[in-house]
Amino acid sequence: MALSDRLGRYICSQTYENLPEKVKSIAISCVYNYMGCVYSGSIQPPPVKMLRMLESYFPAGKCHVLGTDRKADPATAALINGTSANSMGFDDMYKDGIYHPGIPAITGALTIADIVPVTGKEFITAVVLGYEIANRIARTCNPSHYKYWHTAATVGSFGSAASAAKALKLTLEETIFALGIAGTKAAGLQECNGNMAQRFHLGTASANGVLAALMAKSGVNGPRNILDGPAGFFAAMSKFDGDVVTAFEDLGDQYTILDTTFKFYPCCGHIHACIDAAIDVMETNALSCQDIKKVKVGTYKTAIVNSGNPAPQDVLQAKFSIAYCVAAGMLHKQVTVSEFANWPPSSAITELMKKIELSVDPVCEENFFAGKRGGVVTVHTTQGTFTATHYSRKGDPDCPLSRQDIVNKFRELAEMVISADGVRELGSYIEQLPELMDVSVLAKSYGKVAP
């Protein structure tokens, strides 16, 4: 049986009642996280510039562009909403796949819910399937895939297609075709790291999946072996040479959505453990930045390759700069949205950045291939040398955020765009998702932008 056939059967057969309670619960946390990200991200430069560019060509549509009073066709709405949700750099992660699952899975299902009736239970089921299908594809093709390809863009197309197909109630054959169409559109290169094009990756992945599901529904067929065929995704875009049956054998028994990492900092996830260690070493030893002579940051090679920029030139580059984020953490004992609100940075941060040296830490490098993300920060001061080590990030499954942490994050981010009353209303809908008869209320009620 081709892998797409197996995945299609799984998608079509799953129901809300089959899902464990803890899976349903974390899916709601994922929706909270997504909604905070998409609304706060809607006012960031990438989606704003995209919306302005498309205004002259905007077709009439039924789907809401979140955070605005605009509507668009499904693919365009998914493109902009997916871009918005990634533009704050605060969306969730699946570390075993080096992947961001939430945006494609939730955008795909929510876009469909804006054009056909979808209940809360159906929506939750579709979202979970978007995570489960894409997370396994991501962990199978990586780490080799990540050398050139941005997993969020490539694998994200499958995640969106899976959730959109379920929400659209496609047949088995249509679901297989949707995965095939999404797979041939999957792209997104690492060369885009640190610029606006990288933010579009989650938008294009979301749009790819929605468009693929709608095309399959309309009778367009696609490849049945898009993943494991001789010229398929794994062969073309990774060094995977194992048995796909083994790689996917836990489907339906284990739920990868339970391993979701919820970001505690609004920047590249590869930097988070370094920030944790930097704040830890400063607070534990009551250090002052004025006394610092040198800071050594050790982490894994991929983190340095992706986020080793020693001198970022704008806010977006700063989100991919270990030096900037560590310096901000050491100086302010936190890294929040405010650390990326203005540019250029203060002289205190730029001077501290000059004292930071990056290197590959052998233990962090070894742990990276075991699914952990670590950072070691050693601070040399006039008073002595101090070190802090974190082999997991705050927000990782073994160091999780609570539901209240995630709800607080949602409120803080959403209130950047929506009125406080609107945030409370939206939050109440998310909390009662299983009882909702029409999920489109999540989008329809929130073109209410605060003055």
Distance CA(86)–CA(153), nearest Å, equals: 11
Among 176, 62, 40, 170, residue whose Cα is nearest residue 111: 62
By DSSP bridging, strand 384-390 and strand 63-64 are unpaired
List domains and CATH numbers for the chain.
Answer: 3-264+412-444 (1.10.4100.10), 269-390 (3.30.1330.120)
Task: Provide the pLDDT for residue 431.
Answer: 97
DSSP element (H, E) containing 222: none
Structural element, H or E, at residue 181? helix 172-184
| 208 three-class SS | helix
Q: pLDDT category, 141, cuts 50, 70, 90? A: very high
Looking at residue 57, its pLDDT comes to 78
Q: Is 237 left (phi over 0), alpha (psi -120 to 50) or beta?
A: alpha
Which helix (DSSP H) or strand (DSSP E) does residue 49 occupy? helix 45-54
pLDDT in tens, 395-418: 999 999 999 999 999 999 999 999
Angle at 131 between CA 129 and CA 134, to 5 degrees: 100
Where b means 16+ CB within 10 Å and e means fewer, 325-355 reads bbbbbbbbeebeeebbeeeebeeebeebbeb
Please tell me whether residue 294 adopts helix, strand or coil conformation.
Answer: strand
pLDDT digits (tens, 9 = 90+) for 429-451: 999 999 999 999 998 755 444 43
* Sequential DSSP letters for 93-140: BBGGGTB--HHHHHHHHHHHHTTS---HHHHHHHHHHHHHHHHHHHHH
3-state secondary structure of 167: helix
> Cα(442)–Cα(429) distance, rounded to whole angstroms?
7
> pLDDT of 42-61, one tens digit each?
999 999 999 888 877 777 78
283-319 pLDDT, tens digit per residue, is 999 999 999 999 999 999 999 999 999 999 999 999 9
Residue with tokens 């960031």, as numbered in its chain: 44
Q: Which two tokens stand for residue 114?
A: 């804006």
Q: Is the pLDDT of residue 78 over 70?
A: yes
Mean pLDDT of the chain: 95
The pLDDT of residue 102 is above 90: yes
76, 89 contact by CB (below 8 A): no
